[in-house]
Structure 1
Amino acid sequence: MGYDSVDEQQENRRIEQTEQHSNRPMSVNRSESVYIGDAKKMQNGFKIDDNDVIYKDVVIIGNGPSGICLSYMLAGNWPYYTGEPHPGDDMLTARLRFCTTNTGSEDRGDAHSDDVVAKNRRHCGKSGRIQGGGGLARSTRCKLECLSSGIEGRGGGRPLALLMDHLQHPCVDAGLDVASLLDWRSADEYPEHRVVDHVVLGKGQPGGAWQSMDPNVLTISLSRWMSLPDLDLRHWEKLIEAEQIQEPVLTTANIYTRPEELSVCKASSRISVGTVAAYYKDYVRRKGLKQYFRCGTTVTSVRSDSDSPESKGGYNWIVDGYENKSGKRFRYRCKRAVLATGTTDLSNHLGIPGEDTHPEWVTHDLNDLETRLGRLVSERGETDVGSTDEQMLPVLVVGAGLSAADAIMAARFRGIPVLHAFRNSSNEWGKETAERITISYDRLQWLPNSIYPEYHKVYEMMADGGTNYPLYKSLPGYTLVSLCENREDENMNTRRTVTFSAPDGQLHMFEVSVAAILIGYKPDLSYLEGNGIGLGKLADKPIDSKSNPIEIDDFTYEVIKAPTKGLYALGPLAGNNFVRFVLGGALGILAHILCTTTSERSVSRSREPIVS
């Protein structure tokens, strides 16, 4: 995209020279440099004119937990190892102490680093905590590989995800509630922390998909696992309670700086989705990140462009989109783009006749099903709520995962009969769909009864087949063939029927009131060329968080098959499907940015002419 005038070209040359010779790289909104002072063209700090291009170092697509966590770290908040021993891994403790006490100028690439290390070691002497220059954020790839070696756990096997989970939640899988081994230091406390100019784009409020889920459903993960850096969710709940009753004893300061008092908070347990959504939104406010968030936007394109004049400054990526309310389009040019949109945007479909032609009674969304169930109860009459009307037409639920289990519980709670079809052999609904449902079914089967009693009860119902459970009938191994709607001639009533193929091949027809096909979700990568196909390990398959995540470098989270350097993937898109594992990816991206920008600045200095 060319410049609009000669003056703009001159202004941009001056900006480039300033960037190359400044001690701290800066990212400039070049359209603002021309139109500065024109407040009418600004809205929430952003240009809204279609012709404007905004320049950023990093653009994050997705404002869920992954995007929030990365934004917090890019804003200059870096993790440091406290120096306390890991209660379950002596070798990790030894590696941490070795790596953090041997941080020198080689990690920084400039003479200022010696002063920083000296300052941090003096701080260590006062607090008893080890603070290597830049902490974990300034770690080289070699150090990250060393620290991550030999760690076992969940999280898809990503070494950095496991490392940071071991530090943030020590021994959590063993049932222990140990304080975090990470201290978080801000750019205000440590001026040498680099603040990376970035923006976070999201369709809704901060929290991403968590803002659109049923707020009354309990999370699968324990509350502590849902926490973001430097503010335990349980501490946040206590803080909110204190603010609501205006209790002066509990202040923000002691919430943040005294994690050893975790015992004053309630024990870690499951928590409502609504509470988690409120926490993520409030986290952005409390941590001063609102200036980086541009919510209510839809990204339409993320592409590389290394041929235009603008790319000479390293701005090789273009992110296009529009504001949801106004429809005004925007464009960002950035040095790095991060894909963090999650994997629950689009529901999986079976691709059978009638599935997409009867939206008035066929749904793929749990929240929508809840609304329809409420409508059925209203039609039946409020006085009958809680009764067991087995003459009422059943609700069909297809699937064996957690959403399907929630749907079954919601229907039976309202006294509505359930017809439940789920896979029972490897050849049902096609191989890929069968694999997804098998994974969900196994997860449902092995959930501990003590923590997940409601899901365990649904599994018992599935295993029993409905013999001992009223309002429930299971169809294990049945294949849904079609969904039909017929109008009867006499009274013009609509008859909704579903047809199944039994394991023996015979067809069976059932009349239902509502059909809910809940067989999982997939990411919406329509903003990428070819919907992202080709970026996963299976080049010819769509991206799937479990079977085919985006292929990334384990320690930088760069997309390996991207056309140009500077594209990253974070969170479920990279196979880290739980909030507790997104911290490792955020650290990897931050460390890589700091390392590469330091190298670029060093090369730039070496090329400057020597003036005698």
Structure 2
Amino acid sequence: MARSLPKCVDTLIIGNGPSALILSYILHGHIPYYIGGHHDAILDAKLQKSPNLLHLTPDLYAHFLSSLRYSTQALPVNTLLDTLVRPNADTELNPTSCIEWRYEPDKAIPHVAIGDTAHAGGQWAENPVSASADIGTLSYAEQLSLPGYSYADHLAKSGREDEAEFVRPSRVEVADYLRTYPEAVGIADSIYTGLKVENVHRTVRGFSIGSLGIRCKHLVLASGIFTVNIPPPQYLAPVAQMESPEAPLLVIGSGFSAADVIISAPPTRRIIHIYQWAPEKRPSPLRGCHHTAYPEYATVYRQMKLAAIASKKKTAKSPSVRRKSNPFQQRDWSLYEGLPNAEVISASTSGKTATVTLRLPSGETITREVGGLAYVVGRRGTLDFLSTNLIAEILNTPEHTTPPDTPSIHLISGRTLRAKAEATSLEVARDVFIIGSLTGDSLIRHAIGGCVFAAGRILGAIPTSYSPYSSPSPTSSTPRSVSPVSTSDTEVAAEDGLAGLAGLAGLGKERSGRRTPGEATNGHADLHVDRRKLVRAVETAQVENRYWVDSGWWAGGLGPGRR
């Protein structure tokens, strides 16, 4: 029997993915406390004075940027909670958490988390790309855990606890974990699935959700940035509908989704791969994949690199790779043809196949017969479920400034609200918060910080920077109006690494403006590291350092070892 939605709640969370589940766990009354033991003496001293982590203040992480201990890839608040939950996680196996989740039911807040997927998990509950669901995740299993019920706990239920270390679970396995999480931690009463949220607008006392007839005081956007696949140009749409496995598959894209499609294709099927190649200006995120930890992605990137080298010669076809140098023996990489920075000029269909005309960077024109198209140049989130006024308020962009011939500004990427989050906070409008990938941090391990901040504001532990008497104004010139909004085709293309595909979608200009930390590697610099080797390297370095100290040579032969 379907549950009925409450008509009025304090907080409504739009989405039911990992970040929504974490926030729901906190709003049920599970409060994070610092219990000591962190290796950072400065951070430890600050938190000892105020261990309740709902009282987050910027001074807690003010020293992060001057320390080599912390990554600059994520927002400081997300880095803070990540290092407290898993201190030295990248160099230590099963580190002891510095956080204790204490159940304080008197602090629980009435709320609901609503998503349109079949079960809890958000994008993990879907498979929008025609790729194998058994491909391993980017994160290791121990980095996918949510509070109160870890991924290791989930595996232990089926006697598989030995699979929780240095393992990249499949998408199906992660989806199963997230599906069982609400029941496991007792938050299922607030999680709703299979419901579409639409017509959300601000009222005098909060917000109203027209499609569901709900009113709330606080609105949390946890809808993510991966809900909409960027569609192919109209003239390529018929090719995308073809399914002729005997003919080559045309893959257009430079990132993980493109690699997933290539990996998932039958090993004997010929692949024609068009991708942007600008390693110095805009490298593919695959570049960050260590060949031991992420062999499948590293192998695809190597083929792309070989093809880019070959394209500078007379032939554009990728050189054959000897099988013994290929970690994926089942795929014949001699059937892979990489065409870096090529442009699709035209496409014509004939029966079950299509003929595409391509222009290479050299100016040469070639044709290829294909039996299908995987157009995987990126995905976007959408704010179309919000009213126009509320969107303008969040983006600080008056509606009339949008050129009439540009795409909808409601499609957003991880950069759309990133600058605003960096400059101010995750409260992007009065009583409106963003968590999860909307903050620009897409890894699950970086979701807890934003959720703790939002909970702190909702529970009144963190003061708002908005005046309760001020009326929202999308044209406000306050310091909060700092977020660049991608409203042009050029910016959308550059964000997906499509600058080299100018002929494909009429795009070719480079994106201008401030670059966020880690942008040169698309936020995946950490994938250069094989964590298994790194743990051993750190242990070796510690032994060597101890030997150096004990030897006394660091003090001219008068150190501890020489006394």
The residue that corresponds to 2:12 in the other structure is: 59
**Matching of residue 535 in structure 1 with residue 394 in structure 2:** yes
Distance 1:543 1:265, change over 3 A: same
TM-aligned CA deviation for residue 594 of structure 1: 1.7
Distance 1:147 1:220 in 2: 29
Distance in 2, matches of 1:151 and 1:537, equals 29
Helix, strand or coil for the counterpart of 1:91? helix
Alignment match, 1:183: 100
1:227 maps to which residue?
Answer: 145
- Aligned partner of residue 171 in structure 1, secondary structure: coil
2:42 to 84, 91, 105: 91
Could you report, residue by residue, the CA deviation over 1:296-330 in whole angstroms, capped at 9, with x for unpaired residues?
10111221122xxxx3xxxx211233xxxxxxxx2
Question: Which residue matches 1:211?
Answer: 125
Q: Is the 8 A contact 1:74 1:196 kept in 2?
A: yes
Partner SS state of residue 197, structure 2: strand
SS in 1 for 2:153: helix
Q: How many residues are matched? A: 423
Separation of aligned partners in 2, 1:474 and 1:507: 15
Structure 1 residue 283 corresponds to structure 2 residue 197: no
For residue 272 of structure 2, the aligned residue among 419, 429, 441 is 419
Q: Which residue of 2 aligns with 1:585?
A: 450
Alignment pair present for 1:269 and 2:269: no
Pick from 332, 351, 371: which aligns with 2:214? 332
Alignment of 1:28-47 (within 5 A): 43-46=2-5
- Where does 1:226-265 land on structure 2 (aligned, <5 Å)? 226-241=144-159
Note the alpha carbon deviations across 1:283-308, whole angstroms, 9 max, x for none: 111111111012110111221122xx
Query: 1:454-499 deviations in whole A, cap 9, x for unaligned?
Result: 111111111222211311111111012333213xxxxxx4441222
**1:94 positional shift:** 1.8
Go from structure 1 to structure 2 and tell me whether the alpha carbon gap of 1:500 and 1:549 turns closer, same or farther (over 3 Å shift). farther
CA contact (8 A) 1:522 1:544 kept: yes
- The match for 2:376 among 496, 506, 518 is 518
| Match in the other structure for 1:344 | 226
Deviation string, structure 1 residues 501-527 (Cα, Å, up to 9, x no partner): 211333322110111111110002211
Deviations 1:524-582 (A, max 9, x none): 221123494673488866654333236347785211xx3xx211111111212111111
Larger radius of gyration: 1
Q: Distance in 2 between matches of 1:173 and 1:401?
A: 24
- Output the aligned Cα RMSD: 2.9
Question: Out of 491, 508, 511, which is 2:366 matched to?
Answer: 508
Contact 2:224 2:381 in 1 (8 A): yes
Distance 1:419 1:75 in 2: 51
TM-score of the superposed pair, with normalisation by structure 1: 0.64
1:316-331 to structure 2, matched below 5 A, reads 316-321=206-211, 330-331=212-213
Which secondary structure does the structure 2 equivalent of 1:406 belong to?
Answer: helix
The unaligned stretches of length 5 or more in structure 2 are 308-317, 321-332, 403-408, 469-563
Over 3 Å counting, the alpha-carbon distance change for 1:482 and 1:526 in structure 2 is farther
Alpha-carbon deviations, 1:94-144, whole Å to 9, x = none? 2222333xxxxxxxxxxxxxxxxxxxxxxxxxxxxxxxxxx222x1x5xx2
Whether 1:293 aligns to 2:207 is no
CA 395–292 in structure 1, closer or farther in 2 if over 3 Å, else same: same
The structure where helix makes up a greater share of residues is 1
CA distance 1:349–1:598, change in 2 (3 Å): closer
Amino acid at match of 1:423: Q
Residue 63 (structure 2) pairs with residue 150 (structure 1): yes
Aligned mates of 1:538, 1:444 — CA distance in 2: 34
Give, in whole Å, the separation in 2 of the partners of 1:155 and 1:544.
22
Whole-Å separation in 2 of the counterparts to 1:463 and 1:67? 39
Are 1:473 and 2:337 counterparts?
yes
1:434-445 correspondence to structure 2 within 5 Å: 438-439=282-283, 441=284, 443-445=285-287
Q: Per the alignment, in what secondary structure is the counterpart of residue 547 of structure 1? A: coil
CA gap of 1:197–1:266, structure 2 versus 1, over 3 A, is: closer
Q: 2:298 is aligned with what amino acid?
A: H
Match of 1:575 in 2: 440
1:46 and 1:408 map into 2 onto residues whose CA distance is 43
Structure 1 portions without partners, runs of 5+: 1-41, 48-53, 101-134, 243-261, 322-329, 362-371, 377-391, 427-433, 487-492, 604-612
Question: Aligned letter for 1:424?
Answer: W
**Structure 2 CA distance for aligned equivalents of residues 532 and 445 of structure 1:** 35
Q: Does 1:557 align with 2:426?
A: yes
Give 2:53's aligned amino acid.
L
CA drift of 1:157 comes to: 4.2
Whole-Å separation in 1 of the counterparts to 2:423 and 2:463: 21
Distance 1:186 1:595 in 2: 18
- Aligned mates of 1:167, 1:558 — CA distance in 2: 23
Letter paired with 1:535: I
Once residues 22 and 362 of structure 2 are traced to their aligned partners in structure 1, the CA distance between those partners, rounded to angstroms, is: 51
Q: Evaluate the alpha carbon distance shift between residue 163 and residue 474 of structure 1 in structure 2; reply closer, same or farther with a 3 A threshold.
A: same
- Counterpart CA distance in 1 for 2:334 and 2:192 is 49
Please tell me the residue identity of whatever aligns with 1:203: D
Aligned counterparts of 1:357 and 1:287: Cα–Cα separation in 2: 47
Distance, in Å, in 1 between the alignment partners of 2:174 and 2:346 is 38
Contact 2:248 2:372 in 1 (8 A): yes
Q: Structure 2 CA distance, aligned partners of 1:597 and 1:584?
A: 14
Provide the residue aligned with 1:545 in structure 2: 413
Give secondary structure in 1 for the equivalent of 2:348: strand
2:299 aligns with: 457
